[in-house]
Chains A and B, each alone.
Chain A
Amino acid sequence: MLVGLLVLLPVLRLLWEAGDATVLGRVLDSPATWRATTNSIAIAAGATLAAALIGGPFALLIGLTNPRARTAMSFALILPLMIPPQIVAIAWTHLAGSGSPILKPLGLAPPVGTANPVQSAAGMVLVMGIEHAPLVFLALRTALRAIPGDMLEAARASGAGPWRALRGVVLPLCLPGLVAGLAMAFVAALGNFGVPALLGVPAGIPMLPTLIYRRLAGFGPSALPEVAVLAALIGLVACLGIALQTILQARIASRLPGGARPLAPVPLGTARAPVELLAWGVLALLVAAPLTALLATSLVSVYGLPIGFGTLTLAHYREVLALDQVGRAFANSLLLSGSAAALLALLAVPLAHAMALAGGGGRIARAVGVLVELPHAVPGVVLGIGCILLFLKPLPGLGVSLYGTLWIILAAYLVRFLPLALRPVQAACAALDPTVEEAARALGAGPLRRLVTVVAPLVAPAAAAGGLLVFLTAFNELTVSILLWSQGHETLGVVVYALEEGGSPTLGAALGVIAILVVLTAMLAAGVLGRRLPPGVVPWRN
Chain B
Amino acid sequence: MPDSVMQNSFHLDAVPIRLERCGKTFAGGARALEPLDLTIRGGETIVFLGPSGCGKTTTLRIIAGLESPDAGGRVLFGEEDVTALPIERRNVGMVFQSYALFPNMTVTENVAYGLKVRKIARADRARRVEEMLDLMHLGEFAGRRIDQLSGGQRQRVALARALVVRPRVLLLDEPLTALDAKLRDSLRLEIDRLLRGLGITAVYVTHDQGEAMALGDRIVVMAKGRVAQVGTPREIYYQPADGFVADFIGTMNRLGGVSRGGTLSIGSATLPWTGPDGRVELLVRPEDLALAGEADGHLDGTVAAAVFLGDRTRLVVEPADGPALTVDAAGRSELGRGDRVWLRVDPARLLAVP
Contact = CB atoms under 8 A, between A and B. Distances in A.
Contacts of B101: 436, 439
A214 interface: no
Contacts of B171: 442
Given A441-B66, A442-B93, A458 B88 contact: no
Contact of A443 (B27, B98, B113): B113
Contact of B165 (A435, A444, A458): A444
- What is the interface residue range for chain B against chain A? 20 to 34
Interface string B60-71: 000010100000
B90 to A, nearest CB: 8
A361 B26 CA distance: 12
A442 B104 contact: no
B278 interface: no
B94 A449 contact: no
A438 B104 contact: no
Contact of B117 (A361, A433, A445, A457): A445
Nearest to A439: B100
B98 A435 contact: yes
Interface string B141-163: 00000000000000000100110
A53 interface: no
Q: Is the interface of A mostly helix, strand, loop or mixed?
A: helix
Given A443-B165, A444-B89, A438 B96 contact: yes
Interface string A445-457: 1100100011001
Contacts of A283: none
Nearest to A460: B104
Given A443-B113, A443-B117, A446-B88, A438 B94 contact: yes
A440 interface: yes
A442 B92 contact: yes
B98 A433 contact: yes
Nearest to B87: A441
A118 to B, nearest CB: 51
B87 A442 contact: yes
B96 A457 contact: no
Contacts of A440: 102, 113
B102 A436 contact: yes
Contact of A438 (B87, B117, B161, B167): B87
A443 B101 CA distance: 12
Max chain A Cβ within 10 angstroms of own Cβ: one of B103, B162, B167: B103
B216 interface: no
Interface in A413-445: 433, 435-436, 438-445
B100 A435 contact: yes
A442 B86 CA distance: 9
A444 B98 contact: no
A449 B104 contact: no
Contact of A449 (B89, B117, B167): B117
Contacts of A443: 113-114, 117, 161-162, 165
Interface in B17-57: 27
B202 to A, nearest CB: 14
A459 to B, nearest CB: 10
Interface in A506-521: none
Contact of B88 (A433, A445, A453, A454): A445
Contacts of B94: 438-439, 442
B290 to A, nearest CB: 48
A446 B114 CA distance: 11
A177 B165 CA distance: 49
Nearest to A433: B98
Nearest to B90: A442
Contacts of B118: 444
A458 to B, nearest CB: 6
A441 B104 contact: no
Contacts of B100: 433, 435-436, 438-439
A444 to B, nearest CB: 4
B232 interface: no
A219 to B, nearest CB: 54
B265 interface: no
A445 B113 contact: yes
Nearest to A442: B94
A361 B92 CA distance: 29
A440 B118 CA distance: 12
Given A361-B27, A433-B98, A438-B94, A444 B104 contact: no
B302 interface: no
Contacts of B165: 443-444
Contacts of B89: 444
A458 B88 CA distance: 21
A439 B88 CA distance: 10
Contacts of A446: 88
B27 to A, nearest CB: 7
A444 B96 contact: no
A122 B91 CA distance: 69
Contacts of B103: 436, 458
Interface in B95-138: 96, 98, 100-104, 113-114, 117-118
Nearest to A441: B87
Given A438-B87, A443-B162, 15 more contacts: A361-B27, A433-B100, A436-B103, A439-B158, A439-B161, A439-B162, A440-B113, A442-B88, A442-B162, A442-B171, A444-B89, A444-B117, A445-B88, A446-B88, A457-B104
7 contacts: A438-B66, A438-B96, A439-B100, A442-B88, A444-B88, A444-B114, A457-B104
The 9 closest A-B pairs by CB, nearest first: A443-B114, A435-B100, A457-B104, A442-B94, A439-B100, A435-B96, A444-B117, A436-B100, A441-B87
